[in-house]
A and B are shown apart, each in its own frame.
Chain A
């Protein structure tokens, strides 16, 4: 079956611009996660959705970052007034049901470069 997909695969933008990154989870997965990975580092948690609601957004670095999942499937990570420090790979993962310790399935990521 299809895995987690993310679009675009690469995004180049200018400082101050607005960007949207999209995640299509595995069909039927109710849990969805966003992570951010800087070069040479492990992924860092941003936000977790269970269904349509953000159950844990404690990893969002500031109020320029926002994510939605209006129908409990596709999610969009939105970054306002981008800064050069936002350059990273943004990873999305989904899991079947938000059960403790269940496996998370990752997409290939979106590589964001802010010039």
Chain B
């Protein structure tokens, strides 16, 4: 599986934007970039995913580099509820159905009031 690299931790202030980076230099042409996050004492939850173009949804935006070797999850206005571990995960569209999620250690985001 293609590997992702994320910083262990990041810190932000409430109501400020947060940019969470992910490096995936060995990404293949059929890999989608998925982000999940895990709030304290909860299971992971889906945030966003993309292939080549930047993506926006109600939770966040995903900016994908032109060479696809890196991506950035953007939280436009961090809230205290956004404090979580954020995981960047590659998923191969060519896999058979039911593909597992392969988690790394993720980035622990701290949001200061």
Interface centre among A40, A42, A107 (most CB of B within 10 A): A42
A42 touches B105 (CB 8 A): yes
| 6 more CB-based (< 8 A) A-B contacts, given A56-B100, A92-B43, A100-B99 | A45-B101, A91-B44, A98-B98, A99-B97, A100-B94, A100-B96
Which of the residues A4, A56, A99, A104 comes within 8 Å of B101, measured between beta carbons?
Answer: A104
A-B contact list, 13 entries, CB within 8 Å: A33-B100, A35-B103, A43-B44, A45-B100, A45-B101, A59-B100, A93-B44, A93-B101, A98-B98, A100-B94, A101-B91, A106-B44, A108-B43
Tell me, in angstroms, the Cα distance from A105 to B101 when the chains sit together: 11
CB-based contact B97/A98 at 8 Å: yes
Counting CB contacts under 8 A, is B13 at the interface? no
Interface positions of A from 31 to 84, Cβ below 8 Å from B: 31, 33, 35, 40-45, 48, 50, 55-56, 59
Given contacts A40-B105, A42-B105, A42-B106, contact A56 B98 (CB under 8 A): yes
Q: Taking beta carbons and an 8 Å cutoff, which residues of B are in contact with A?
A: 32, 34, 41-46, 49, 85, 87, 91, 93-106
Asked whether, in the complex, the Cβ of B98 is within 8 Å of the Cβ of A42, the reply is no
Instruction: Check if A108 sits within 8 Å of B41, measured CB to CB.
Output: yes
Q: Does A103 contact B (CB under 8 A)?
A: yes
* Chain A positions within 8 Å of B97 at CB level: 31, 50, 97-100
Alpha-carbon distance between A23 and B34 when the two chains are bound, in angstroms: 24
Contact B46 A41 (CB under 8 A): no
Known: A42-B106, A101-B93. A48 touches B100 (CB 8 A): yes
**Nearest-CB distance from A102 to chain B (Å)?**
8
**A55 x B98 contact (CB < 8 A):** yes
The residue in chain B whose Cβ has the minimal distance to the Cβ of A107 is B43
Contact, CB under 8 Å: B43 / A91: yes
Interfacial chain A residues near B106, Cβ < 8 Å: 42
Nearest CB in chain A: distance from B2 CB, A: 14
Contacts A42-B87, A50-B98, A100-B93; A108 near B42 (Cβ below 8 A): yes
